[in-house]
Amino acid sequence: MDNRGILIVVSGFSGAGKGTLMKELLRRHPDTYALSISATTRSPREGEVDGREYFFISTEEFEKMIAKDGLIEYARYVENYYGTPRGYVEEKLGQGKDVILEIEIQGALKVKKAFPDTLLLFVTPPSASELKSRLVGRGTETMDVIRSRMDRACEEAQGMENYDYLIVNDDLDTCVEEMHSIIRAEHRKISRNAEFMEKIKEDLISLKGED
Amino acid sequence: MDNRGILIVVSGFSGAGKGTLMKELLRRHPDTYALSISATTRSPREGEVDGREYFFISTEEFEKMIAKDGLIEYARYVENYYGTPRGYVEEKLGQGKDVILEIEIQGALKVKKAFPDTLLLFVTPPSASELKSRLVGRGTETMDVIRSRMDRACEEAQGMENYDYLIVNDDLDTCVEEMHSIIRAEHRKISRNAEFMEKIKEDLISLKGED
């Protein structure tokens, strides 16, 4: 089968458990996947490590990367830049690793435009009431916080149709394996196996001539 | 998730082992899949049982089925009709079973046209030389027979691009599980989960109003 890795964007509701899911997927299949780390110009928060949560770089460095097309996608929120460095992604794809970007819908659509064979996965809890109870949390949040989280979830829901697959996160273990299967299946797509098919066609013709 | 079954067409090289693969898939997952049986006007061969290999019916009966749109696809080879009865397929899909049709490319394309969300799977051995050695068999075939099988394989190869996924049949056990995973993954496609998504959107809006 063709050897190049697949570029995968994972988005989903806040509170759907994307972080835990990614961590577990990479822990179980460290040789299959690579997690892309975003670059940002904002300052690290307490406990954040450069090269783990983000690459923390200066605005000047970030703008240099933009200028030399070194980012697959980027956006500016408030006064900070966030973006996906191109070098790491292309290196890992070339090595046959499936590269995962955990980004929001606007970024996802930009990536899909630049790389049309990107696989877009959307993570959701099994139901709206389950999502709400995760957003409400342990009862320590104010009504305002909960209301703004619910508003955000309604907005996030509008983007679902743009994705390729739904990942329903009910039980973590099942969900990790399901996500892994969906990506494995994707490698078998006809459109990702042009080389294999060309080869089998050519070989059939030359084997036919042989006897 | 949405409950309707998926219509699946399985085609592939003669000699790719489709028959064994289907049999094993159904044996392992009898509640998940239903195998559609074709109707034909040709006479049963030795060992063939009505309702197992085919439904053996008269030309008159077959033409009545055509007239009342009772076939999903049909074709006439030499002087016999072959076709897929609609009733069984729709009944099983409605029960949430994934229905498998094992038919050739012309039929596959007709089914896809009538049911655009049909999943098309193409079964291939891992290489052309492996295919050839399966076609050559145990050395009891004449050169002419082998040559005509190779010609046919070359034709079959031309149709591969029309399918959705390649199923590489190297080891039977792996192949059955891979085929099963591909179909499971297909159920998670965004386009097959319109109801689930509508529901989560509606519920989010009504839960937002609640607090």
How much is the mean pLDDT over chain A? 92
Contacts of B165 in chain A (CB under 8 A): 185, 188-190
Mutant choice from B204, B205, B210, B211 vs A, greatest count of A C-beta within 10 A? B204
Rounded average pLDDT over B101-120: 93
- pLDDT tens across B172-185, in order? 999 999 999 999 99
Contacts of A159 in chain B (CB under 8 A): none
* H or E segment to which residue B94 belongs: helix B86-94
Check residue B135 and give its pLDDT.
84
Neighbours of B80 (CB within 10 A): 13
pTM, two decimal places = 0.91
Percent of chain B with pLDDT over 70: 99
Residue A87 CA to residue A33 CA, distance in Å, equals 16
Given a cut of 70, whether residue B34 has pLDDT beyond it is yes
Contacts of B203 in chain A (CB under 8 A): 127-129
Q: In what order do the strands lie in the sheet with A55-56?
A: A55-56, A39-40, A80-85, A71-77
Neighbours of B59 (CB within 10 A): 11
Given a cut of 90, whether residue A135 has pLDDT beyond it is no
Given a cut of 70, whether residue A32 has pLDDT beyond it is yes
Residues A154, B208: C-beta atoms closer than 8 Å: yes
In 3D space, the residue among B180, B157, B199 whose CA is nearest the CA of residue B12 turns out to be B157
- pLDDT tens across B125-147, in order? 999 999 888 888 777 778 888 88
Report the first-to-last Cα separation within chain A, whole angstroms: 27
Check residue B208 and give its pLDDT.
82
Selecting from B157, B167, B193 the residue whose C-beta is nearest the C-beta of A204 gives B157
SS3 content of chain B, % helix, strand, coil (to 5): 50, 20, 30
Contacts of B157 in chain A (CB under 8 A): 197, 200-201, 204
Percent of chain A with pLDDT over 70: 99
- pLDDT tens across B51-69, in order? 988 999 999 999 999 999 9
The token duo for A143 is 């009504």
Residues A204, B131: C-beta atoms closer than 8 Å: yes
Burial of B114 from C-beta contacts in 10 A (0-12 / 13-18 / 19+)? middle
Mutant choice from A1, A109, A163, A165 vs B, greatest count of B C-beta within 10 A? A165
| B73 and B111 Cβ atoms separated by less than 8 Å | yes
How much is the mean pLDDT over chain B? 92
Given a cut of 90, whether residue A112 has pLDDT beyond it is yes
